[in-house]
Each structure stands twice: as structure tokens, then as C-alpha cells.
């Protein structure tokens, strides 16, 4: 058996190529795992924020029903649809714009009259 430097060189080249492919696969796996981990962290952080926002929106909706729909129950047979609520809030927005100083003043008076927690 003769020593063939070219075949030895070819084997080394093939081995280097295999190692490069293996390295690339490992790097891709690490990148994928890191991306999944980052996504999970973002999801967990955003989940808490979404949950808090949902709770806040439910509270505001309940207050809308309590203070607005209750006073308009004679004019509307049922609770307002979201579209009707938006129209009504648009009307209130126009009133707010025209009477902003008065409304802000009344808001501050009511806010200051509330007992302090603590």
C-alpha cells in the first residue's frame, strides 16, 4: 500500500467540510433556541401587561354602564352596542371639548373631596 498524499489531503478537506456543516447546524440550533427563549420572555412580559389592560378596560366598561347607561335607560330599551357606545362617547367628547375648563374644575373638586387612602 502506497502513501497517497492527495487522498489524505482529500480526507482532511472532507473532514473540515463536515465539521463546518456541524458547526453551522449547532449555531443555527443555538440561534433558534435563543429566539424561542426571547419570544417566551416577551410573551410572559406582555401577557402581564395585556392582562392588566384587559382588567382596566373591563372596569371602565362597567363604570360606563353604571354611570351612563343607567341614566339613559329610559331612552334606550337595551344596553348600548359597542357602536352606539362609541357614538355616545363621541357626543360626550364634543361636549368635553366645548366645556373643558368647567369639566376639569369639577373633576378636581370631586377628586380633592375624596378621602385620602393611606
Is 118 a residue whose pLDDT tops 60? no
Is the Cβ–Cβ distance between 72 and 79 less than 8 Å?
no
Domain spans in the chain, listed from the N-terminal domain onward:
1-76, 81-118
The reported pTM is: 0.51
Q: Tell me what pLDDT residue 1 has.
A: 60
Q: What percent of the chain has pLDDT over 70?
A: 97
Most confident of 6-10, 35-39, 92-96: 92-96
Q: What angle do CA 43, 46, 51 make, to 5 degrees?
A: 120
Between CA 51 and CA 32 the distance in angstroms is 28
b/e for 89-98, b at 16 or more Cβ within 10 A? eeeeeeeeee
Amino acid at each position: 500500500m502506497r502513501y497517497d498524499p492527495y487522498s489524505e489531503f482529500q480526507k482532511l478537506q472532507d473532514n473540515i467540510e463536515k465539521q463546518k456543516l456541524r458547526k453551522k447546524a449547532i449555531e443555527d440550533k443555538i440561534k433558534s433556541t435563543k429566539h424561542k427563549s426571547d419570544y417566551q420572555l416577551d410573551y410572559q412580559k406582555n401577557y402581564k401587561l395585556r392582562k392588566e389592560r384587559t382588567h382596566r378596560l373591563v372596569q371602565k366598561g362597567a363604570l360606563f354602564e353604571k354611570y351612563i347607561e343607567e341614566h339613559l335607560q329610559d331612552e334606550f330599551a337595551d344596553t348600548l352596542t359597542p357602536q352606539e357606545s362609541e357614538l355616545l362617547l363621541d357626543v360626550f367628547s364634543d361636549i368635553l371639548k366645548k366645556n373643558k375648563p368647567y369639566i376639569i374644575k369639577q373633576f378636581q373638586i370631586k377628586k380633592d373631596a375624596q378621602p385620602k387612602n393611606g
